[in-house]
């Protein structure tokens, strides 16, 4: 009986020891936490997580080892520098999404705004500055394209002087009805007309999947015109996991294969609880 008791006790102790070791391994795994290969330079748009104060969000990025955030203006840059977070896509010179370079009515204001902020972007150590075509408002695409070129030509020498890259974002017509720069082909024509390495397209994968599809081929064929990338799941602009139709690991591999060295920013709106878990998952999915 004593031996049987001993065996039973030993067995229980062994089970307990194994359980402790398993728990310790799990805890160690959790402590090791989130690890990125960083073949992709990761960024994220804070507006998608706007219920998290920016400073808290930047602390989280520090913890994750993510070094950049998108769509930050001069008022946020001091806080970014406090946490050593790069502004991968700056904003602050645009009038809005619907009032842009395709309408000469806004050129005076836009030229003033961009002339003011371009040197500030460079002085802060940043490179990319967003811009928008604006809505059609009855204007044909050819006229709008020429208007964009005419206006942008007036600030391109300044952008080139300071090493700042203006990036016009591509949108779809479902979320942004009447927006003019709604196809990569139209945006590429502006790039060709300006003929400057300081003007590129912000290729939003979510928007272009909805608007024209064929994402990987577009990247392969036209990557020289794409200066920045945004992600989100289709449909719904939510998590980029298996719940949606795009397979982001293949897209990221296609981007890497072009020799791209810029940033890819998560711009999905979390639909589930545990928003930061969704963000971590997004980074890992793209971390090919």
**In the predicted model, is pLDDT for residue 138 greater than 70?**
yes
What would the two tokens of residue 155 be? 């600030």
**Among 76, 94, 239, 267, the one annotated catalytic:** 267
Average of per-residue pLDDT values in the chain: 91
Rounded-to-integer distance, Cα 212 and Cα 223, Å: 16
| 197 a catalytic residue | no
**Among 76, 169, 189, 239, the one annotated catalytic:** 169
Question: Model confidence at 34, in pLDDT bands (50, 70, 90)?
Answer: confident
Q: Are strands 263-266 and 41-44 parallel, antiparallel or unpaired?
A: parallel
The set of residues, in sequence order, having a beta carbon less than 8 Å from that of 84 and lying 6+ positions away, is 62, 67
CA distances from 245 to 57, 124, 137, 215, 232 (A): 28, 38, 32, 12, 11
| 212 a catalytic residue | no
162-190: average pLDDT: 98
Nearest CA among 190, 184, 188 for reference residue 205: 184
Note the pLDDT tens digit of each residue in 93-130. 999 999 999 999 999 999 999 999 999 999 999 999 99
The set of residues, in sequence order, having a beta carbon less than 8 Å from that of 270 and lying 6+ positions away, is 48, 49, 238, 239, 278, 279
Q: Which residues pair with 203 in a beta bridge?
A: 229
**In the predicted model, is pLDDT for residue 230 greater than 60?**
yes
**In the predicted model, is pLDDT for residue 260 greater than 80?**
yes
**In the predicted model, is pLDDT for residue 135 greater than 70?**
yes
Please give the sequence-ordered ranges of beta strands (E in DSSP) within 1-73, or none if there are none: 41-44, 68-72
User: Phi/psi of residue 78, each to 5°?
Assistant: -60, -40
Note the pLDDT tens digit of each residue in 44-80. 999 999 999 999 999 999 999 999 999 999 999 999 9
Nearest CA among 187, 169, 287 for reference residue 228: 169
Q: Which residues pair with 263 in a beta bridge?
A: 41
The model's pTM: 0.88
The set of residues, in sequence order, having a beta carbon less than 8 Å from that of 201 and lying 6+ positions away, is 167, 168, 169, 170, 181, 184, 187, 188, 191, 225, 226, 227
Q: Which domains occur in the chain, in start order?
A: 35-286 (3.20.20.150)
Minimum mean pLDDT among 8-12, 39-43, 45-49, 119-123: which range?
Answer: 8-12
């Amino acid at each position: 009986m004593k031996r049987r008791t001993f065996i039973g006790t030993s067995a229980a102790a062994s089970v307990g020891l194994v359980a402790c070791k398993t728990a310790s391994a799990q805890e160690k795994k959790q402590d090791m936490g989130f690890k990125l290969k960083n073949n992709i330079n990761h960024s994220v748009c804070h507006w998608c997580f706007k219920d998290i104060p920016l400073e808290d969000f930047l602390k989280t990025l520090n913890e994750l080892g993510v070094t950049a955030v998108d769509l930050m203006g001069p008022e946020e840059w001091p806080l970014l520098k406090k946490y050593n977070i790069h502004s991968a896509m700056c904003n602050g010179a645009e009038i809005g999404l619907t009032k842009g370079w395709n309408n000469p009515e806004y050129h005076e204001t836009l030229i003033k705004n961009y002339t003011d902020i371009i040197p500030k972007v460079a002085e802060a150590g940043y490179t990319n500055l967003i811009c928008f075509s604006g809505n059609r408002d009855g204007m044909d695409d050819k006229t709008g394209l020429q208007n964009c070129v005419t206006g942008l030509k007036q600030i391109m020498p300044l952008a080139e002087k300071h090493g700042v890259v203006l990036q016009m974002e591509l949108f779809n017509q479902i979320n942004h009805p009447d927006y003019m720069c709604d196809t990569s082909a139209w945006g590429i024509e502006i790039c060709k007309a300006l003929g400057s390495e300081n003007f590129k397209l912000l290729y939003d994968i979510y928007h272009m999947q909805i608007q024209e599809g064929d994402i990987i081929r577009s990247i392969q064929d036209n990557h020289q015109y794409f200066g920045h990338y945004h992600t989100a799941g289709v449909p719904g602009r939510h998590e980029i996991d298996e719940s949606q139709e795009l397979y982001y690991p293949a897209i990221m591999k296609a981007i890497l294969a072009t020799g791209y060295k810029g940033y890819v920013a998560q711009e999905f709106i979390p639909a589930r609880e545990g928003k930061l878990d969704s963000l971590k998952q997004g980074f890992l999915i793209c971390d090919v």
